[in-house]
Structures are given as C-alpha cells and as structure tokens.
Structure 1
Amino acid sequence: MLLLPLLVAAAAPLALPAAQPVGSATLARDAETRWVPFELTPGNQLRFTMTVDGRPATAILDTGVSYSVLSRRFAERAALKVRPGGNATAIGGVVDIGWTPTATIAMGGLTRRGGGLTVATLPAIATGSADAVDLLVGRDLTGGFALDIDYAGRRFRLLPSGRLPFRGFTAPLSISRDRLVYVSEITLGAARLRPMVVDTGDGSSVTVTAGGWANARLPGIPTTTAISFGLAGAVTSTIGIVPTLRLGELTARNVEIRVEPAGGFSDSIEAAGRIGSGFLQNYRVLLDPTAGRMILSPVPHADQPPVRSTSGLLVGVARDRLKVLHVMQGGPAQAAGWKEGDMICAIDGQTIPADYPASPLASWSAGTPGRTVTLRMCDGTERKLTLRDFY
C-alpha cells in the first residue's frame, strides 16, 4: 500500500538493545563532492541507496532514530546473525528489536567500519512507500558530522562538523543525552516548546503534545483529524494550520501542526514534539549538532500555505483501488457517511492507474472547493462528493 501526500509516515527513536560496539566512522577527503541522490517518497521521506557489508540497501534518512535500524527481511536475506534485543518504544506502540554486527556501512563520503545495527520489522506503510526499505539511517551514523540536505536538488551529503556551505537562519541543535536523537526548540504562540526532535524520518510538518498546544494559547485555529503510521501502528492526531512559528532566527508562516493526544508518543519519551521532513523540505537544511546549530535557507514559496484536503478522505493505494484509511473530522466525507475501509475503483470515470500518486488524478482529494467528484466504489455503486474547505 502506498501512502498519499496528505497521509504521512513517521518513524521513531529506538534504543540499542545492549552495550554493543559502535564502530568507527570516517569521511573521505572528497566527501564534499559525494552527494547522495534521494527521492522524496509520498510520505515526505528521503529514500536512497547505500551499502551494508557490500550489499546494496534501500534506506531512509531518519534523524529521529537513535540507532540505525536494519529490516529483518534484509538480515534474513543476507544470512546475518541477529541477537535478541528486547523491545523499544516507537510511534504506535512497542516493537521487538535485535542487533547484528556489521563489517562496513557506506553512503556518500561516509564509511563506518565495525559496530552493528539494530534490527526490527520495517513495514512499508511506516516508510511512506509501496515497498518496504532495508534500513533507517539514524543518529549513530550521521550525528558526528554536518548533514547538508538539499531538498530542492533531491540530494544530501555529509561534511566535517563546523563547515558552513551556505547561509541562512540559525536555530539551536544538539543531541539529547537521554534519547540520543537530534533536538531543537520552537516558539508556538505563547509557548516555548523543547525538546523538539528534529526528525527527517517523520513525513509530517510539526507535531506537538496536547499540553504544548494548550500552552500555546492559539484560539480560533480551525482543526480536523489525520492519521499517520509509525513502526508500531497508526496514530490519529488533531491538525490545524498556524499563521507563524519561530525556530531560532526563523519565522515560518502557514505551518501545519499535528497535535498528539495526551499520553501520546512525544509524552512517552518526554519530548515536546517533532519537527519533520514535511516542514524541513521548505528549506535547504544543515544539521550540525556538534557545532550546536541548524541552518535553514528558504526555498522559493517556503511560506505558501500547505495543501489542504477538501474531501476529508485520507486514502492509500492498493494496486488498482484506493482504500479509505481515515475520514477527517468535520469534512464533507464525514458528513456524507464515508467509513474507514471504503474502497474506490474510479474517479470521475477514470480507473486508478499504477502511477496514481504521481498522476494528476491524485489531486482530486484536495481539489477546488465546490467541485463535485463522482467516485465509483469497488462494489459497483457510485457516490458523489462535493469538495469544500473545512479547516
């Protein structure tokens, strides 16, 4: 199943199963020239190819993960020895983890010799793509260097800490002592929220706790609901769009905010929330925790309002059909009686193509308010849905 842009995925901090050797990571002398190309998945995640013990592996760059995670499927295929490691907290619940030693890991100008990887099941639905990836690249591989992410150019590279390859707005950045992930802070309304996990593996924009949202005191923001998927399952959140948000020197405008329910994942790891790739992709980003800074250089139209659903349906693609994964609160679909699990086989007479997420047809769910869309259900019946603004 493939997630559409309005439905984002989210990875989570994971802990090393036990005290294990961490290996030695070095940068090549020409690391500055060794850009790693990536594709931005429908879940707003950075997907690329690297090598593990000489074998090609598909990976997602995930600064919200403390120790890089290898999929059990890859470990089994490569006949790697996996030691049991107990379990770890992830978005959606708890996942079983293990650990496997590795000889070499390489991406761009970085090579790590020795050490190993956490091992867990990596379902496709949690990584924003039709196909599951082999690896989540976390803080243990990138945290000692400056990470330069050129979202517009769809490429990233690792540089020695202290390098400043471009100018932009500066915000604080460090590695948290407890969770060992990238963290910063934001000002939202009346609230200063910290620590905020800087999480390139989270496809959403900015997520905050229910308490943080209440402390921000932002009356009059229309909200609805949305669903996201983590390694351990689905989470429903409240979403709204705030006029401004401050991140260090940067004032960002028209920012989508997700509000987790009380006692949610951020509360469980004692964080104020997450800054995800849905937000970061509006900038060229330098993450350099050793130097204590994050640099953000806006891309054109960085402050444009985000795409909003006008249908109230969040759907996933299952071959030649769309499955309703969530009906947004207060939207036209909820008013018309749509339910989770409803299956759509055609939109205005067009069947669902294999490349649906990249096709113009996929824009219907955030189309012009007032437009009426005819949806043929997979049971042969037809429904009409009139689009409108609702948050």
Structure 2
Amino acid sequence: MKALVSPMEIKAAAQNGRTKTWIDYIQKDLPQHLDWWPYTLGAIPLTLFGLLVATGLMLTFYYVPSPEQAYESVEQITHEIYLGWFVRGLHKFSVDLMILFLLFHVIRVFLTRAYRTPGELKWVTGALVLFVTFAMGFTGYSLVYDNVSYWGMTVVTNMLGTLPIVGTPLLYLLRGGEEVSGNTLLRLYDLHTKLLPVLLAGLVLGHVLVVRLVGFAEVEGSRGSHPFYPEHTLKMGAIAAGLLVLIVDLVMIFPPTLGQPANPQEVASDVSPPWYFSAPYMWITLLPGPVALWSMVGGAAVFVGYPLLDRELSKRGWPMAIVNAVVGALVVVAFAALMILDTRM
C-alpha cells in the first residue's frame, strides 16, 4: 500500500531542489505563538503607519508651511474643508496609537527577552523605528503652529542646543537661525513630510526583513505552526479592521481642536507636549538641564544596546528574567508618575 504524503512534505521536497527566493522567506510558516494577542503588537504599528501615510498625503494638499498661512491652513482643514477635521483626527490618533502600541511591543519583547542571540539586530532596528516615530510625532505637532506648539518647539530646540559640541550646530540646523521662525517651520515640514517618512519606511521594511530572515524567538508552549497566508494574513486583516473602527470612534468622540495662533511675544500658559513627550518634559523640568539631557541620552544608548548588556550580565550569573521584570516595572511606574505630575502642574 502506498504511504500517504502530507502537504508539508510535498512543499519541503519541492523546495529542496531549488534555491530559496525572497518569496520563500515571506511565505514560510510562522510559529504558533504569533496567534497569541501579545505577539500581534508588532503588526499593529505597521497598519497604523500605512494610515498615517495615507492621511498625511491628503493633509499636504491643503497645508501651507509658512508662518503667515500655516495656522490658517490648519484652521481651514479643521473647520471649512469637507471632512478635513476627520482626516486630521485620523492622522493625529494614528500617530498616538502607533507610539502606544510600539511601546507595548517594546515592553513585551523586553520582558520575554526576545532580543537574545540572534535577535540583537531585531531589537536595534525596532528601537530606531521607535525613535524616528517620536521624531515624526514632534515635527507633526509643531506644524499646527498654534501658540502651544510654537513654544513647545522653542523649548525642545533650546534643550537640544544645550548638548555639548553638537548642540549649537543642531540648534541652527533645525531653526535655520538663532530663533524659531518661518525657516524653522519649513525645515520641520520637510523633515515631517520627506526625510522622516522615507527613513521610517526604510527602517520598518528593514525590521520586517530582519525578523523574517533571522526568525522568531522561541516561546515556551508554542509547538505548532501556521501558514503566513491565508491564516495569519486574515487575522492581521481582522485586527486592522477593528483598529480602524476604534480610531474612527475616537475621532468622532474627540475631534481635533486648535488653540490660539502662534505669538512670539506671549508665552503660552501651557507648553506641555503630547502625552508621549510629557514624561521627558517633566524630567527636564525637574532636573538641571545638562543632567536631565545627558541622563536621557545615556538612557537611550543603554536602551539600544541592552541586548549586549543582557549577554554580559547573564554570563556573570544575573537572573535577567527577574532583572527585566523589575527594571520594566520601575520604568513604567516612573513614566506614569511623571505624566500624572505633568497634568497637575
């Protein structure tokens, strides 16, 4: 009697006789744990990035990056153009949720130590995606050019100017002069609509390719696998649809607002940045400038190079699973405390 051959064996036999192509890497089966909710957090920001690009392109049709017309163009988008407020709200909530889910993704990877060999490059590219997304959020926030964003722009660029050696050149590069002006707005617009999106798209693509080539970290209890298409693709599609419904609801409940026009002669009463910058903002408010700035630079460097630190400490017998749980809890509590403090000051 002829033995039955499984589809997986037929597929493997077909691939043995030829060189693998990039399609094979994309289509290869995924481990079972990627069906678990905490492990879908990496695909959600990818969906939100696509929505950001689509809505951002629509906004560029009406936005005018000049100090005389920037605020008026945003006001026109918000109050006069058909569904302009809706597109602006989608854009705003997309970046908010993208940063939120990136942070959730980082926390999950950190606690499960999925960055361990050979996952160091996945961690580094993911960290760079997070930092560039922060930059996208700051530049987009500045383009509104109301009084709060104007003075927030002033505070952030002043902070960067205190960096030794590179601070002053960086300040002039971003501002286009000594003070925040029309040159600053134009440069931030170019960063937000040209350089940063291309850089972010390249980093996201690189991160996805690294994940597919290096493979996924092993997870206890995950023994089976499932195909990328159609099973995994359909699930990600369902998550994307649910995410879109959530964002539409948020925009309808909390439509975008607009403050007073930028006034260089009158300091805004509240220059608090968006929520994802409120903790660093309070940090530099509470500590002396150089101390706060260098501590954040050092923290960012440790964050990017943490897989190497984990490797060295593991060799010395440190229980890194416990260390990561404690460190992660302390960082989350500290960020939450600083954000709450910012709302009360």
- How would you bin the TM-score normalised by the shorter chain? under 0.3
Greater relative contact order (CA < 8 Å, ≥ 6 in sequence) = 2
Larger Rg: 2
Give TM-score, length-normalised by structure 1: 0.22
Kindly indicate which of the two structures has a greater share of residues assigned to helix.
2
